[in-house]
Amino acid sequence: MTVPQSPESLAVLADGSLSGRTALVTGGGSGIGRASALLLARMGARVCVVGRTADKLDETVALSTAAGHPEPMSTAVCDVREPEQVDVVLDAVLADLGRIDILLNNAGGQFVSPAESLSHKGFRAVTRLNLDATWYMTARVAERSMLPNGYGKVISITMSPHRGTPGMAHSSAARAAVESLTRTLSVEWGPRGVRVVAIAPGFVHTDAIAKYGIDTSVLSSIVPLPRMQSADEVAALVGFLASPAGDYITGTTITADGGLDNAGPGILG
């Protein structure tokens, strides 16, 4: 399967516009996380990519190096579901970068299951990754860097559609909670210089989509803009929000899904 790229969607984001900024990207070894990390690095930020698989993170760094990005990219192996591991990683990242200006909460995942068949363990596995880990990483980065420095941008990846999606009770609940948390934190932290935003993509064409066993042509057919989204298109929005152009945007979820949220019933059940 060929994963589509959309380099033209990145063209409006100026090289050097994030010069002097630092960024931490979770789930940076593939998909949206990798595309976003590479764009932030191209824009001049010094980026650390976090994930569970060292080889995948190293591939992201190699791509950044090959592209000639101005700042070196670093890696940190971590299961973001484990607070103790997050604390250790933040110790190392802050010692290396000095501060974290931009946090992209991209790590996430789910599986398709009828709601009545979800076990407690299965429900908690998804909510721990998509909600608990997002909360803990955000709170600790804010506490240790953004709030003391009076500046920060937290961007969290959620999902569209927002209407009922059969088979996604666990993930829908977790992502809705992240969007509500985004609104609350924007009010609490805005006066202290920290912006908090969520992005809700639709069907993104990445290598991971194959694990759901869904025909990508079927997914494309129910999107009003009749194709799947590329990771670059999501990264472009991340880059916009991270740039000075996004300085007055906080407390909202930006749905960028090709119109999926307005389309018909979900097909995942």
Domains of the chain: 16-262 (3.40.50.720)
* Interior/surface letters 87-107, b for 16+ CB within 10 angstroms, e for the rest: eebbeebbeebebbbbbbbbb
Q: Strand 102-105 and strand 194-201: pairing? A: unpaired
Q: Which amino acid is at 183?
A: R
Residue 27: φ, ψ to 5°: 65, 40
Residue 208 confidence (pLDDT)? 73
Residue 218 confidence (pLDDT)? 84
Task: Name the CA dihedral angle for 10, 228, 107, 96, rounded to a multiple of 10 degrees.
Answer: -10
Residue 268 confidence (pLDDT)? 45
Residue 44 confidence (pLDDT)? 96
CA distances from 86 to 21, 37, 53, 91, 96 (A): 21, 19, 15, 9, 15
Residue 8 confidence (pLDDT)? 61
Tokens 């959620």, residue?
A: 158
Sequence-distant (≥ 6) Cβ neighbours of residue 117 within 8 angstroms? none
Mean pLDDT by 10 residues, the chain (269 residues): 66 82 96 96 97 97 97 96 97 97 91 79 85 97 98 95 79 88 98 98 80 77 90 95 94 95 62
Give the whole-angstrom CA distance, residue 77 versus residue 52.
5
Look at residues 20, 19, 55, 32 and name the one whose alpha carbon lies nearest to residue 159: 32
- Please give the model's pTM, rounded to 2 decimal places: 0.91
Residue 12 confidence (pLDDT)? 63
